[in-house]
Structure 1
Amino acid sequence: MAEGHGNAALRRLALGLMAATGFAGLGYQIVWTQQFALWLGHEAAAVMAVVAAFFGGLALGSWLLAGRIERSPRPGWWYAGCEAVIGLWGLALSALMPALGGGLQSLTTLQAAGAQLWAVAFVGCLVLLLPATVAMGASLPAMQRVLSLQAGETPDGRCWAGLYAANTAGAVAGALGAALVLVPAWGLARSAMACAALNLGAALLAWQWYGRAFDLPAAVAREGNARGPLAMLFATGLLGIGYELLVVRVLSQVTEDTVYTFALLLAVYLAGSAAGAQAYRRWSPAAMDDSGQRTTRRLGGALALACLLGASSLWAAEALRDGVTSALLGVADPMSAAVTAEAVLAVAAFAPATVVMGALFSHLCRCAMAQGATSGRCLAVNTLGGALASPLIGVLLLPAVGAKAGLLLLACGYAALGWRSPRSPWAWAPLTGAALAAVLAPALVFIQQPEGGRLAAYREGVSSAVSVVEDAEGVSRLYINNRQQEGSSASWRVDGRQALLPLLLHPAPRHALFLGLGTGVTAATATLDPAVNVQAVELLPEVVELSSLFTAALADQGVELQRLRVHAADARRFVRLSPEHFDLIVADNFHPARSGSGSLYTVEHFQAVRARLADGGLFCQWLPLHQLDLPTLASIVASFQSVFPQARAVLASNSLSTPVLGLVGGTGTLSWQPGQLQRRLAQVPQAAAFGFEDPLALLGSFVAGPSSLRQWAAGAPLNTDDRPVVAYRAPRATYAPQGPPVDRLVAWLGQLDPQTDSLVDRDGDQAWSSRLAAYVKARRHFIAAGRGVPPLADPQAMLARIRDPLMNVLRESPDFRPAYDPLWRLATVVAARDPHAARAVLTELIRLQTARTEAASQLDALGVPP
């Protein structure tokens, strides 16, 4: 009785250890994937290579060490040793990752892409992670050997399924714990240290309870041929991870695609696998009939149907998301409702298939071990199949056939595993379902197409789907994964301003670099300066291709597209590896909540940009306030000013719905002379079409000085590579927007001082400085006035509504053209219907303008009657 209780206690300890190390294993994977992406880039090839290297190390460890463990009289020592190696190597990588990552980055080239980048990333990560991943791959077989012999079972006993279920359940907790708790609170390095502590604790406990207390007999070699089950294990690894990849790609068009989204999807996938393994352990028969082939066929057929069922939920993903969100908004906060909706989508897509996957994996392992294979060999071939899923399915299959055909092919692959006889109706059920879906179901492409609009272009890439949608008015918009708008043909003026504002502030730029392409309008506009060599970097090749649909229309503005050189590469990696120095670097307003974008707002990235600036160079980082909350903005501002202490803030335009802020820093002083700016404007005469008519329009865009910014952002945590504050905080504003963007803009501007006195060089005209102060003050009042003025379709009613607020702005600064222009346009339109009201407005505008004679001639030319 005591011995039975002892065995039960040791079994519970084993399950606890496997759960703890499963938590650590997933925590490592999340941390290491993020760390390597910082150095190798976020290109699809690099990201998939890191995942493949992780899986490859696991497979290698299981393959090489499982046989020795099987022959060892003390497998408990092996388990303790593996956990100790994992923990110690985890601690070593925590300290050495910056140096190792930098060395790995140096092995890549500036133009590395595709197979070349994949090879460097795969081999480099495989070598750097090898000690830990090999030990991870051997730890589960070691514990299975210990537990099966101590329980008096043969090595093909069902305890394997229980250990696998416990380990996978721990991995579920690791996926959620790392994303929701560890990394946001402690950062990447300390999170890895916490995982290392779990491994080292497991090693000590295993040494105490399994290493010394038992001296087990070595395993007896068994006869058998396990090629069939092992081949199926390889196929299920390939198909299972392939299914995960394709489902995640489809759902990225429906979900917000944040770090929380990825954690939820991964957790649900693993939870289903753990549940299936545990169910198999509990309900499978003690003895297998027909060498387990009947159960294999049944589970294979069931898995094919489950994949079809899970895939079918994807067609209803948008409706399901909206329904869950709407149902929960009355009882939960917006973020909880949105995250719950994403969790429901994950359950619908993954739960049916992954439960059967867990059961089938456990059963195939049992079959293989019964025929002489070791548990390590089973794990190795299955993991190897998973490692190959990224290049074969993610890189080759998905772009070639699309997500819909890819998922149906995977279901057919599972159906082949469960094939019995052509006469059996169950053999044909999955194939019939796949054939019907292929013919009747639409493509798994989600595109928000407005009424009367059309899809102008669509490209399915390895990591993202990119589309161009044209509405009924002919306005085209560029989308990534149907969720992230990268610009439109209607915003060309604002996009162009984001290039010209920093470009004109530099006295004599010769080399300019744009990080992020989008529609291409911003970078292309820089070619209006004939003296500037312009380069741009864009992560997605599909965006580079489709940007031509937007930039072609700029030819009428004098843009020379042939002078724009575009690189398809990761911006961080390009900045670190480029041998050039640039007079101007402009970074796009990357969506901070999207996976990977937060790394473009870190202190380390800003330091790399500063190192790439030439003497007197300028750097402008644009920020989308409509996609940010103020605490996240404060972290970005604090991080920027830690590298550029004299940084100032500007506004790209006066937009109230999509305000874009800019942080301007440099290697020199940030003050200007009006005469210098006037000469720059003369060199780019087209700037007037973008609203830069005079130096006041340039310097009047500044809204905050250095000390004001520093005081406002005081106490905000820095966003660093190790502590990615933005990546984990910004999604909150995406899931639960905090009111209209104009409210945040007005609140932010109200706390800042533009410090206009220091904007103008000491040799500048004092009267001009006073005009600048009035101009900046007028801008704030203009924005505040527009906050409560919704647009009206009737020009006469609109003129009546905005006349007094805008006139007051102009009385404060007659130079403020953004208030003058809409009044003049509306008055000229209304002149035919209400000439007296129009003349009153135009006369007042003439009185307020310095160029009274010119305005009077304009009035006469319009023919407005007295």
Structure 2
Amino acid sequence: MYQLSLIFGNASYATATTLATFFMGIAIGGWYWGNKSVKIKKPLFTYGLIEIGIAISGLLLLPAIEIYKGNYNLLYSVTGGNPYWIILLKFLFSTFLLIIPTILMGGTFPLLSKYVGKQRKNLEKRGTVLYTLNTVGAAIGAFLTGFYLIEKFGMQVTYILAITLSFSVGVLAMILCDKFKNKESGLPIKLDAGPKNKVEESDNTVYKNHLSTPQFIILALSSGFLALSLELLLFRMFAQVLQNSVYSFSAILVVFLISLGFGGIIANRLAQTNYGSKEILFLFLLFSSLTIGISPIIFNIYTDGLEYIAPYASWPVYLVEVFKLSISIVVLPATLLGTIFPFLLKAAPLKFREPGKFVGRLILFNSLGSFLGPLLAGFIFLQLFGLWVSIKLIAILYAVLALYISLSLDISKKVKWSFLTVIIIGGIFFIKDPAIVQLRPQEKLLEYWNSNNGVVSITKSENNLQMRLDNFYILGDSESLLVEQMQAHIPLFVHPSPKKVLFLGMGTGITAGASLDHTVSKVVVVELIGNIVTAAKKYFSSWTNGLFTDDRVDILKDDARNYVLGTNESFDVIIGDLFTPWHAGTGSLYTVENFQQIKKTLNPGGLFAQWLPMYQLTPEDFNTIAATFSSVFPQVTVWRADFNSTRPSIALIGQDLNAKLAQQSLKENISKIFKNNRVEKNDAYQHMVGLFYIGNLKVLKNNLDNYILNTDDKRVVEFKAPKFSQQANALQGKYLVGEELEKLTEMITSELPPKSDPYLSELPPDEKKYIKVGMLYSRYIEHFSKGKENEAKLVEQQIKKIAPNFLK
């Protein structure tokens, strides 16, 4: 998944195609190897061969991905960029990559089941232990990979380690098979269930302690469908109050898997009792329904109405709080769910006597359900019903399954338990849903949209309209109108003649709309989340300068990186949005490989502007991104979008080595904009760009050489930024705002003053002085905003000496 996200993109449909292929392969493998296991005399030896096969076929993934990346633009052009054909293409490619290893994976559990349980009685006890150990191993793997291995060693080494482990397990299994070859077959153990065991069960015969064939199939299918659906919905629920980094979701996954392992232990104990299997399954299904149904209420209470979790805690304390939240919400329902699948080894119809074959059937139906779950939950339930109702729906479906099982019990239990189930279904249905967005005082929720990619909301407070993603991630607002416009104007002022412009990320659309004031011939806007486009068009159209109606504009719902990889178009200016560095998956937008692909997409003399939210970056984050950016672009200059002291934004603009800022084209570009906006030209507007220029990044080269570059293999930003961010929140570090940003800009300017900066060599001295004015004005705003009037007056005097009319 981690590898394929780089080429499939982070769009939900791309993830779904990978998951679909994965579970499809597991389903086929379970069915095929389950049937084949009947004739296999050495299941442990065959299991070893399969593990080796998984390792070899998995190894082929790496060169195949490189071939795909190298030819993706050709395939993109053949399909004409049609999203439906692209989805089909990705599905076929993921099938090609994953079908062999996943079919082999699907055979591992049936073969080991045959080895540990030659007869049904063995399997009921040992198979549940096998499931428990496997699930605990999965939790350990998820923990080590998410919290240590990838960060420490990179993707490639971690992947090779996984392949090596798989290969080693295969070799070990073959050695053990040879060592214990005289013990492997064991003695056949007869079923000990009384005289009825001699009677072959028909599909219409129902025994007290065993399911019928239809019941078995429905429960196997449903357990996969509902568990994977719930997992996806839980991730979406936690996204409303967490940092949403790779660590947050790794923590949730680990707790989920450990809980499933606990369920396996319970199933093992119950398998050794004489309690009725249907009664046990009924109770677990019903209690699963109840715990899932009330989970939103517990979540709302625990988070105090969707408050951000531990916003000012240190990094270790924050992780502890994430695990505590996960445990409080996930453990009970996931443990109950984890009991159902392995307990089916005991509750299966008696006619399923051959362990490997019937385990293969169990995996077949369970994997088919796992294949359908994320698709329906992510693309239908969330879209139609929203998050809270979708969770309720999963809870009610578990209750419906309990009701289905209760109908095959004796009459007294059937009536009482059916009545109890109906009561619980009604109670879940009428539970009041928590709010989807936490509102601040005097704030009103206008509308929100649910999807697999997150919750997009529009809120209003006084005269400000704000767009958010997942409750706390602000995508833009009407109060930031000028700042968002400047994020388009600055790069387009700098380019001599921008005709074709590409925006990676849209947000409110204000930035992209500002480009239409320039003499552009084509504007392409790529936005990952379709609901952002819907929300922007409905609520921000009046500020977007005709973005949604202008014939020059194409708005594409696609992953930014994926679009750049596939397009055959080239652009004069490419502008990257303010991507939150600690957000899971965002680190891939700051890698060497992505910057290189963007550079290839530029026309000769073109430029790329990557805007950075300095209020979310620590010095370490900035230096890593700057070092990575400057390793690709030989000429990098630094610009500001505003003079905001608390939420400043700056851009790294990459160009060719000998690029220079041309005075004449600057004047023409600026005059066109202010003419279009009917703003009277005066001294301040004439020198506008000088005010926003900070300096040349080459002065930091020696300092940046000490930083590890952010690459697809080692995503330093994705794994380091969450830690640095949380430390800054806890006042154990600092964001690049206020005095910290001023220190950075002063260092850049003092090391290479404007008069010596080769990038500014064509500007007259009178223009260069406004670079100093811009620095002073930033300091002036900083003092003024903090109420430091004396300091502000001193800076004001300095500004007047350089540009007497500026502050007017």
Same fold (TM over 0.5): yes
3-state DSSP of counterpart to 1:267: helix
2:527 is aligned to 538
SS at match of 2:471: coil
From 728, 741, 745, the counterpart of 1:745? 741
* 1:660 corresponds to 2:639: no
One-letter amino acid matched to 2:610:
Q
Once the two structures are superposed, what CA deviation does each residue of 1:512-549 show, in whole Å capped at 9, x if it has no partner?
11111011010000000134422211111111111135
Alignment-derived partner of residue 381 in structure 1: 365
Give aligned-pair identity as a percent: 22
Task: Rate the CA distance shift 1:101–1:84 in 2: closer, same or farther, 3 A.
Answer: farther
In 2, Cα distance between equivalents of 1:34 and 1:559: 34
Does the Cα contact within 8 Å between 2:281 and 2:402 map onto a contact in 1? yes
C-alpha distance in structure 1 between counterparts of 2:649 and 2:52, whole Å: 50
Once residues 446 and 385 of structure 2 are traced to their aligned partners in structure 1, the CA distance between those partners, rounded to angstroms, is 20
Please name the residue that 1:850 is paired with.
Answer: none
Structure 1 range deviating more: 178-187 or 152-161: 152-161
SS at match of 1:316: helix
Q: 1:535 to 1:97 in 2, by over 3 A?
A: closer
> Are residues 1:408 and 2:408 paired?
no
- The answer on whether the counterparts of 2:755 and 2:765 sit within 8 Å (CA) in structure 1 is no
Match of 1:858 in 2: none
1:42 matched to 2:29? The reply is: no
Compared CA separation, residues 816 and 718, structure 1 to 2 (3 A): farther
Q: Which whole-Å CA distance do the structure 2 matches of 1:196 and 1:760 have between them?
A: 51
Range with greater deviation from structure 2 (391-400 or 160-169): 391-400
Confirm or deny that 1:783 pairs with 2:774. no
What is the DSSP-based 3-state SS (H/G/I as helix, E as strand, rest coil) of the residue aligned with 2:583? coil
Q: Are 1:276 and 2:259 matched, yes or no?
A: no
The aligned counterpart of 1:22 is none
Match of 1:98 among 54, 61, 66: 66
1:186 pairs, out of 150, 153, 161, with 153
Match of 2:318 among 333, 338, 341: 338
Cα distance in 2 for partners of 1:167, 1:559 equals 52
Q: Does 1:463 align with 2:463?
A: no
2:585 to 588, 596, 600: 596
C-alpha separation in 2, matches of 1:89 and 1:690: 66
1:199 equivalent to 2:186? Answer no
SS at match of 1:88: helix
Q: CA RMSD in A?
A: 3.0
| Higher alpha-carbon deviation: 597-606 or 95-104 | 95-104
The answer for the alignment partner of 2:345 in structure 1 is 365
Superposed CA deviations along residues 283-318 of structure 1, whole A, max 9, x for unmatched, are 4334564xx222222222222222224343233252
Supply the distance in 2 between the matched residues of 1:787 and 1:201 (Cα, whole angstroms): 60
Mapping for residues 687-698 of structure 1, pairs under 5 Å: 693-694=684-685, 696-698=687-689
1:606 to 595, 610, 631: 595
Quote the residue 1:454 is aligned against.
Answer: 444
Partner of 2:579, secondary structure, is coil
Equivalent-residue separation in structure 1 for 2:546 and 2:382 (angstroms): 39
Which shows bigger deviation, 756-765 or 89-98? 756-765
Displacement, 1:666? 2.0
Quote the Cα distance in structure 2 between the aligned partners of 1:128 and 1:402: 33
Q: Which of 692, 703, 708 is the matching residue for 1:701?
A: 692
* Alignment map for 1:701-850 (pairs within 5 Å): 701-737=692-728, 738-739=733-734, 741-753=737-749, 754-757=752-755, 759=757, 764=762, 767-768=765-766, 772=768, 774-790=769-785, 801=790, 804-814=793-803, 817=806, 820=807, 824=808
Larger mean CA deviation between 277-286 and 756-765 belongs to 756-765
Equivalence for 1:266: 253
1:124 aligns with 2:124: no
What does residue range 186-335 of structure 1 map to in structure 2 within 5 Å? 186-211=153-178, 213-214=180-181, 216-217=184-185, 224=201, 225=203, 226-287=213-274, 289=276, 292-319=277-304, 325=310, 334-335=314-315
1:143 aligns with 2:123: no
Determine the C-alpha separation between the residues in 2 that align with 1:320 and 1:763: 56
Structure 2 vs 1, CA of residues 62 and 704 (structure 1 numbering), >3 Å: closer, same or farther? same
Distance in 2 separating the partners of 1:164 and 1:72: 21
Deviations 1:485-519 (A, max 9, x none): 01110001011111011101111111111111011
1:41 touches 1:573 (CA, 8 Å); kept in 2?
A: yes
- Matched residue of 1:325: which SS? coil
Choose the corresponding residue for 2:493, options 486, 490, 504: 504
Q: After superposition, what is the alpha-carbon deviation per residue over 1:625-672, rounded to whole angstroms, capped at 9, x for unaligned?
A: 111111121111111111102111111111111111111112463312
Contact preservation (8 Å) 1:515, 1:585: yes
TM-score of the pair, normalised by structure 1: 0.83
Structure 1 residues 469, 320: CA separation in 2 closer, same or farther (over 3 Å shift)? closer
What is the rounded CA distance, in whole Å, between the counterparts of 2:547 and 2:392 in structure 1? Answer: 49
Separation in 1 of the partners of 2:465 and 2:280?
A: 54
Alignment coverage as a number of residue pairs: 767
Identify the match of residue 675 of structure 1 among 653, 664, 682.
664
Q: Equivalents in 2 of 1:692, 1:380: separation in Å?
A: 74
Alpha-carbon distance in structure 1 between the residues aligned to 2:763 and 2:456? 50
- Which residue type is aligned with residue 205 of structure 1? L
Using structure 2 for the length normalisation, give the TM-score: 0.88
- Residue 365 to residue 429, structure 1, CA distance change in 2 (3 Å): same
Q: Higher relative contact order at CA 8 Å, sep ≥6: structure 1 or structure 2?
A: 2
Distance 1:758 1:120, change over 3 A: farther
Q: Secondary structure at the match of 2:705?
A: coil
What letter corresponds to residue 453 of structure 1 in structure 2? E
Cα gap change, 1:558/1:637 in structure 2, threshold over 3 Å: closer, same or farther?
closer
Residue among 625, 628, 631 paired with 1:636: 625
Query: Structure 1 pair 767/790, CA: closer, same or farther in 2 (3 Å)?
Result: closer
Distance change >3 Å, CA 182–CA 559, structure 1 → 2 = closer
Indicate conservation of the 8 Å contact 1:39/1:102, yes or no.
no
Which amino acid letter does the alignment assign opposite residue 571 of structure 2?
A: F
Rounded to whole Å, the distance in 2 between the matches of 1:478 and 1:711 is: 40
Deviation, structure 1 residue 813: 2.4
Q: Give the whole-Å Cα distance in 2 for the aligned partners of 1:756 and 1:403.
A: 54
CA distance in 1, matches of 2:256, 2:430: 28
Where in structure 2 are the equivalents of 1:52-63 lying within 5 Å? 52-63=20-31
Gaps in structure 1 of 5+ consecutive residues: 1-32, 793-797, 825-866
CA distance 1:499–1:683, shift in 2 (3 Å): same
Change beyond 3 A, Cα 1:614–1:366? same
**Secondary structure in 2 matching 1:717:** coil
| Distance of aligned partners of 1:806 and 1:162 in 2 relative to their CA distance in 1, 3 Å threshold | same
Q: CA deviation at 1:156?
A: 3.5
Contact 2:399–2:425 (CA under 8 A) maintained in structure 1: no
Of 710-719 and 609-618, deviating more is: 710-719
Q: Which amino acid aligns with 1:143?
A: L
Q: Is the Cα–Cα contact under 8 Å of residues 778 and 812 in structure 1 kept in the other structure?
A: no
Deviates more, 1:479-488 or 1:303-312: 303-312
